[in-house]
Amino acid sequence: MAGTRATASQAWAILKRHARDEIEPLRLQELCKDNERVSSLVSVHNANANRMVVIDLSRQRMTLETLNHLLRLASARGIRGSIKRLAWGDNDPDNPVRLRNRDRTRRNSSNEQSTEKPKAQMSYYLSLRAPEGSRMLNSEGGNALRKIHYEWDRIKQVSESIRRGQHHGITGSMIKDVIVVGRGVPIMALRFVYMALCKDQTAAIVRKAGLNDINNRLRLGGGGTRRIKFLTSVDPVRAAAVIGDLDPSSTMVISIAMNGNEETMVATSTLKAWLLQGMEKNGNGAAVIAKHMMIVTANRKINTELKRDNVFVLPDGAACEPFSTFTAATLLPLAIVFGWQLTRQFVDGAHTMDNHFVETNPRHNLPVLLALTDVWNDLLLSSNGRIISPFAEALAAYPAFCANLEAQTCGSASNSQRVSQLVIDGGLNHSYDKALYSANKIFPSELIMALDSQTSFNASSKDEDVHAAQDLLICSVFAHADELAFGSVETGIMSLLEPNPEPKEAACSDGNRPSALIICDRCDAFACGQLVALAEHRAVIKAWICDSDPFSKVEGSSIRVNRTESLKQRLDGMFAKLSRGEELDEDDEESDDGKSFNLSTTTILRHYANMMKDERVYPVT
């Protein structure tokens, strides 16, 4: 182990010297004239004959020697072995992995409980995408994948029952809309996939499939289309906006409660009250909740307290929130809205990227190359993050997903090699262009696009102008990347809006600003799976390179839950005083459990309580 660390230290030292002495004076204008270098920095993953993902790193401020140095660093950090263990545990790939029981109490030779902190173990999130027929042994010798595939069957059965109208609402109405309550990476991944599939022709068809026939059979009238809405905070105004155009009798609420103590559990209670109020005449509360609410959780206590049919429990080895996208948290709402067949294509896309990640040499491994490029830019060139700009409406939510994922996985480095987790969403309007071209601080750009944006399906017009606009969009991706890399000189430009245009002075950029291109062929369910898996593997590699634990289960809402509860008790006490007609004074700033509050906190809370006292309904005593 010490030898590995020494080798890694040497690799870091070589990279720092290389960046300072050899890369600093070079400019991309010259680097990109080397065709051998350019072609060597473009990598392709072909999932099958018709599906591909391309990454183009040719506009990065690096040489082939830089890449070799980075690959040596990856080797020194044992990346290939770590990828193998991630997929197969401590055993050989030819033999199934034996997953250890993580919850088992460690004991010493005297049979007393050990105080030694158990070493963090991997998530084994690749197992969530392993196809039927695969085997992975657990500590008892059984197939650990059996529970995962059993959950697939449950999701398939539940979603098909809802889509066929067999599982209907308490009033007999068709379940058509889904509200997902939660926060974090799986919610952001679900939002990305949902928005992408709304622009996919096949997905749009299955999203509406059967609604007219079922509604006519049930005499409900109207077909409509299935929708997913998201409630990610306790803000009551946001909750009102989400339910504003929904009918509770045709709505399913899915609450993502990883630990069961999240702040968004309050939001779940708000929607539960909305369901009960809307259907109070149609049955008792338990019957309404059984028909209209489901819970996805890693807390097995919740499963024992609630009806099993309404609860989906995350499988062992996959309860780490940033890597729980391919659980019921995402698959269940997707299957209800788009059907299990399309949802399975999403899983299959991720599995093909998993195979590429595990089997491909780091030199051609897309997630590894992207992660090493991030490390190079952040730690050696001091970029401190990147801006992701989507060049397709279907990819609009991808940057926010990446930002959330990397904030959760790359933010706990244990040494000085701390890679940045700052990811900025450049947005479809590319509002950061001016800063990207000319700001003193250089942020690497990442441009993501789909070659086939399904223009004929998504555009309102079918004439040639639409396709010309799409052609222009494709060209603008490469123009953006080349402008960042090469800059421009002041030249005369023509104003197309004037009848007799005169040359005018054009803005110019200095260039030498790095960018990367991520290109998929078509943004459908399969490609979404590839892109989500690509982002997951990239984040894991970045964390490992910097000696960080990407599978930490500590979440922000869990960290602050006790303090939030203490402050809520203090606020409740203020309202209780006001209900008795008492004035709020500046009493001591300590909670019942002895924790001190910041003076500004209690001062503003008193002001809030005084503002809101007339809007509250107090119980009569």
Lowest mean pLDDT among 409-418, 497-506, 529-538, 604-613: 497-506
Mean of pLDDT values over 340-359: 96
Q: How far apart are CA 329 and CA 262, in angstroms?
A: 15
516 and 370 Cβ atoms separated by less than 8 Å: yes
| pLDDT digit string, tens, across residues 291-325 | 999 999 887 777 666 667 788 988 766 668 889 99
Q: Would the pLDDT of 99 be above 50? A: no
Domain boundaries, the chain: 2-94+360-488+506-552, 156-337, 560-615
Task: Give SS3 for 155.
Answer: helix
- Tell me, what's the pLDDT at 117? 38
- The per-residue pLDDT for 123 is 58
Between 194 and 573, the higher pLDDT residue: 194
Provide, rounded to the nearest whole percent, the portion of the chain with pLDDT above 70: 79
| 190-228 confidence digits (pLDDT tens) | 999 999 999 999 999 999 987 866 555 554 444 689 999
Q: Can you name the residues that pair with 180 across neighbouring β-strands?
A: 230, 254
State the Cα–Cα distance between residues 342 and 151, nearest whole angstrom: 16
pLDDT band at 495 (very low <50, low <70, confident <90, very high): very low
The average pLDDT across 181-192 equals 94
- Model confidence at 592, in pLDDT bands (50, 70, 90)? low
pLDDT at 508 over 80: no
pLDDT per position as a tens digit, 59-93: 999 999 999 999 999 999 999 988 988 886 654 45
Amino acid at the residue 18: H
pLDDT above 50 for 110: no
What per-residue confidence (pLDDT) applies to 132? Answer: 87
Q: Who contacts 494 (Cβ-Cβ below 8 Å, separation ≥6)?
A: 501, 502, 503, 504
List Cβ neighbours of 295 (8 Å cut-off, separation of 6 or more).
254, 255, 257, 302, 306, 310, 311, 312
Share of the chain above pLDDT 90, in %: 45
Q: At a CB cut-off of 8 Å and minimum separation 6, what does 118 contact?
A: 102, 106
**Global confidence as pTM:** 0.86
**CATH of region 156-337:** 3.40.50.10490
Output the pLDDT for position 599: 85
pLDDT in tens, 446-485: 999 999 988 888 776 667 778 888 889 899 999 999 999 9
Average per-residue pLDDT in the chain?
82
pLDDT at 116 over 50: no
HEC states along 191-251?
HHHHHHHCCCHHHHHHHHCCHHHHHHHCCCCCCCCCEEEEECCCCHHHHHHHHCCCCHHHE
pLDDT value at residue 4: 47
Rg (alpha carbons) of the chain, rounded to whole number: 27
Q: Do domains 2-94+360-488+506-552 and 156-337 have the same CATH topology?
A: yes
Q: Which residues contact 463 (CB under 8 A, 6 or more apart)?
A: none
Q: Are strands 137-138 and 98-99 parallel, antiparallel or unpaired?
A: parallel
Q: How confident is residue 584, by pLDDT bands cut at 50, 70 and 90?
A: confident
- Which residues make beta-bridge pairs with 252? 178
Does the structural domain 2-94+360-488+506-552 have CATH classification 3.30.70.380? no
What are 257's two structure tokens? 């409660």
- pLDDT at residue 183 greater than cutoff 60: yes
Select the more confidently predicted residue: 197 or 567.
197
Of 49, 106, 101, 529, which is closest to residue 316 (Cα–Cα)? 101
Q: DSSP letters along 491-536, please?
A: -EE--TTSSS---EEPP-------EEEEEEEE-SHHHHHHHHHHHH
pLDDT level of residue 38 (50, 70, 90 thresholds):
very high
pLDDT tier at 338 (50, 70, 90 boundaries)?
Answer: very high
